[in-house]
Structure 1
Amino acid sequence: MTSALPDTLETLAVDRPAEHVARVSLVARAMAPAFFAELPAVFSALDADPAVRAIVVTGADGRFSYGLDLMAAAGSIGGVLGDPSAANREGFLRHVRDLQASITAVADCRTPVVAAVQGWCVGGGVDLATAADVRLASADALFSVREVRMAMVADLGSLQRLVGIVGDGHLRELALTGDDVPAAEAQRIGLVNRVVDTPAELETAAVDLATRIAGNSPLVTRGIKDVLDAERGPRVEAGLRYVAAWNAAFLPSADLQEAFTAFAEKRPPQFG
């Protein structure tokens, strides 16, 4: 049975740029609560559609994603900061696990997924890109595992999935610095497969790659993903559970409060 796409979408748009290829565009600049509800629903529907044999996920308006909407997230995080009781921490743990499940819906999609990254790909954007099977970028792309600069441990999948994408030293540098990594450097360390000059060329390259994938047996492409994920899936899941528990225990801190205050005041944070 084919699942239907949601009747209305607030943060995503879906079209069919080629036969057997679906494209999911992130129309919202950042990942608000609606995004985390819509993402698994859209990918579930496309994965259940036999006419879809490959999926391209991309951004809009010159960027991929600015990551988590910090103002929208302030409510759940602020609740734990204000009352770090066991009940609130447990609720926060469930909240993180729900957000993780939304991104994991992309990684668990049986249909191959190509991420086409232009412009900023920050925080949660990297989580999403690493949940795809293949990543392409335009020359203007900038990647950042930015959470460390907000006094957070990245907890939606980057630290777990980058293990199989870039080397350990590169992963640690990305996560420990929060530096902005340009497309050429991202290709050098293996974060992206290829870089093309312009966003228009990126769109063409991503759809072309998805079309080549879609031209193969869908039974076999899904089998390839299943085999490749047999090792990665349990490892990633264990890491996601661990980081969710770690953040539920330690995320509420004076450093986090300072990071959010500095963000609101548009100044560098001063950590103790």
Structure 2
Amino acid sequence: MTDNLVSLKVDIADGVADVTLLGPGKGNAMGPDFWRELPIVFGELDRDDAVRAVVLTGSGANFTYGLDLPAMSGDWAGLLGDRALAKPRTEFLGKLRRLQDAVTAVAACRKPVIAAVSGWCIGGGVDVIAAADVRLASADAKFSVREVKVAIVADLGSLHRLAGIIGEGHLRELAYSGRDIDAARAEKINLVNDVYPDQEAVLAAARSLAADIAANPPLVVQGVKDVLNNQREHDVAAGLRYVGAWNAAFLPSEDLGEAVQAFVERRAPKFNGE
């Protein structure tokens, strides 16, 4: 397995790989190291015949606070201001597609991926668990498709994968409002399969399910995932290209600048639709 990881830890035993988010940002926030390492790790797990299933979880109390805004803000800095011309927009699109590809690496991994969520799972975290095969939660888990709160159209896959998981109505409610939902609501709308009392219990359940999967014929399990993913991932790929082009064209706004400034100043943003 890859050495010198910063944002992820990988442990493999008895056919099951535990992949743990480490941060290094607060609440396992997803910074440059995470986006660089995620596709490398899942690419290696895909190729490793000793791995038959994957459990994905977060270190500490939370799965992830989502995108590390201060660390990643440079990716769209060129879009802010009056001269967001073709070059910065094209560069932004290239960077965005690399982030999209990182999340897609989770879905593309031939080994089933089980997300075990405790505490907060925000923004990019929801993108990642939507790319997993199965989602389980502890009772303290909280979820939020929060990009709208920072003047961004979610562009890493949640808008494309969640419709088939929770349905259009629930997806639109979460994406339009940016509301937080608890584990009980997440289970009710099928975002998670089951809810367990605490972090220890949800991890045990995820590992038990992974062990059951690992005991089955590996090529057949991989074939099942391939068949289930075939149409969905084809549609997701087209949707990701569309939202990438949309955000490269329309992401620059006074509201985005206000969202970033409000985050830095730790205050509520005031959006004006400009």
The two structures have a TM-score, normalised by structure 2, of 0.96
Q: Distance in 2 between matches of 1:54 and 1:92?
A: 34
Pair 1:265-2:265 in alignment: yes
Q: Deviations over 1:164-218 (max 9, x none)?
A: 1001110000100111110000000010000001101011000001001111111
Structure 1's unaligned 5+ residue stretches are: none
Query: Which residue of 7, 18, 24 corresponds with 1:23?
Result: 18
Structure 2's unaligned 5+ residue stretches are: none
Letter of the structure 2 residue corresponding to residue 188 of structure 1:
K
Partner of 2:144: 144
Letter of the structure 2 residue corresponding to residue 261 of structure 1:
Q
Instruction: Calculate the aligned-residue CA RMSD, in Å.
Output: 0.8
Partner of 2:4: 8
Q: Deviations over 1:79-106 (max 9, x none)?
A: 1113311111011011100000001000
Q: Distance in 2 between matches of 1:257 and 1:47?
A: 39
Letter of the structure 2 residue corresponding to residue 8 of structure 1:
N
Pair 1:156-2:156 in alignment: yes
SS in 2 for 1:165: helix
Q: Distance in 2 between matches of 1:43 and 1:117?
A: 18
Q: Deviations over 1:217-251 (max 9, x none)?
A: 11111101111111101100011001100100000
Aligned length in residues:
267
Shift of 1:74: 1.2
Q: Distance in 2 between matches of 1:135 and 1:230?
A: 20
Letter of the structure 2 residue corresponding to residue 72 of structure 1:
A
SS in 2 for 1:31: coil
Q: Distance in 1 between matches of 2:71 and 2:63?
A: 19
Q: Distance in 2 between matches of 1:73 and 1:247?
A: 16
Pair 1:194-2:190 in alignment: no
Shift of 1:6: 1.9
Letter of the structure 2 residue corresponding to residue 139 of structure 1:
A
Q: Which runs of 4+ in 1 moved over 6 A?
A: none
Pair 1:73-2:72 in alignment: yes
SS in 2 for 1:84: coil
Q: Deviations over 1:39-90 (max 9, x none)?
A: 1111111111111100000001111011111001211211111331111101
Pair 1:224-2:224 in alignment: yes
Q: Distance in 2 between matches of 1:130 and 1:233?
A: 12
Partner of 2:88: 88
Partner of 1:43: 42
Partner of 1:115: 115
